Structure 1
Amino acid sequence: MSKFLREDDIVSVESNVYSVSGSNTNWVIVKDGDSCTLVDTGYPGDRDVVLASLEEAGLNARSVAAVLVTHAHNDHIGAAEHLRAAYDVPDLMHQDEVPHARRDFLDQVTVGQVLAQAWRPGVLPWAVHALRAGGTTHVPVCEPQAFPAPGALDLPGAPVPVHTPGHTKGHCA
């Protein structure tokens, strides 16, 4: 086991499908032979854990055929640009997320909104952890690509992407 992963951080949920726990966020590895599709990439501070999780699944960064981004919050795109720039891995997402991933705009909870909720149980420890993991780091994806036409993608595991707008959308006042 890598020094970046704990024993229970990577779980085989089905043959060749792994759920990985990063710092208060998760990603999925869908393995197909010696390649994979990576669904999300954690916080910016999770990059080493993402790479270690690929190794634990018998893969490496060059094995990633594509990153599928569920939505472009920092806790989902943290290592996406690194994989694109260093390994030529395409970052695919719903067309509505493309400008968000480029950081033409930022649609996620602000520090002020979090502080206004700090009295709620669990919010302050989560916020401190999110800050340490790079939750407020500027991490644009330079060449995000929209999913092609609806249906299964020609990627390991034949994923069928759906748009999952950010989980904080509309929840903070």
Structure 2
Amino acid sequence: MEIKFHSTVIMTEEFEQMKSFYQNILQQKIEFDFGNCIGFKNGLSLWKLKEEYPVAKYLGRTFDKSGNKNLEICFETDDFELVVENIEKHKLKYLHKETEELWGQQTIRFYDPDNNLVEIGETISCFVKRFRNQGMSAEEVSKKTSVPVQMVNEICQEN
């Protein structure tokens, strides 16, 4: 028997606003659209529950306005500066603008229309290459990022 991860589902009351946010601002492509449930190609789904659905009956509601306090939806890009420039054109509620994590990755965090925390960060290869291009040795990059030296070398195509 195998259990395979399928997707993360965000239940929302503001379905069209959330759909527009993920489709237009975060540029996610829709894989399927069933009207009140859509799935993006990245595995994220949006669902506007109806009262008759079993999950809504068990929860006793179709939506909880308190949001998801322990959930972060993460995206990565090799074009961090360009993505940040595009994101900042929109009026979003930010947790923080560009910052460097302890391991060196550049990130930005903001909230979607339902107050779910969204992160966009550099890919591992992006920040590893950035440090190597700044003159750090593979060993120094590994120490800062926790990426093994062998992987640093592979990313930077060194032997």
Q: By percentage of residues, which structure has more strand?
A: 2
TM-score, structure 1 as length reference = 0.26
Which is greater in Rg?
A: 2
TM-score, structure 2 as length reference = 0.27
